[in-house]
Amino acid sequence: MATYRMVYGDDEQVVRETFHSVTVEREDGWTVLFRGDEAILRVQDAHVHALDRVDPVQDEGPAAR
């Protein structure tokens, strides 16, 4: 499982979140984040502004290097 940073929302509200230990599936115009078998977030692709996989070394910061 991986860590992803996601920016999503519409004209009224934009959310920036980091999700740890998830898998991502895209199907039929939706982006769905899963933790195990449970879908923890479903967002229409039109509302996803950015979805980036985060390198674990970046996530831990400079002190971890």
Looking at the whole model, is its pTM more than 0.85?
A: no
Span 35-64, average pLDDT: 84
Q: Spell out the SS3 assignment of 14-52.
A: EEEEEEEEEEEEEECCEEEEEECCEEEEEEEHHHEEEEE
Alpha carbons 42 and 19: distance in angstroms, whole number: 13
Residue boundaries of the structural domains of the chain: 2-64
Could you read off the pLDDT of 1-46 as tens digits, one per residue? 899 999 999 989 999 999 999 999 999 999 999 999 999 999 999 9
List phi, psi (to 5°) of 41. Answer: -160, 135
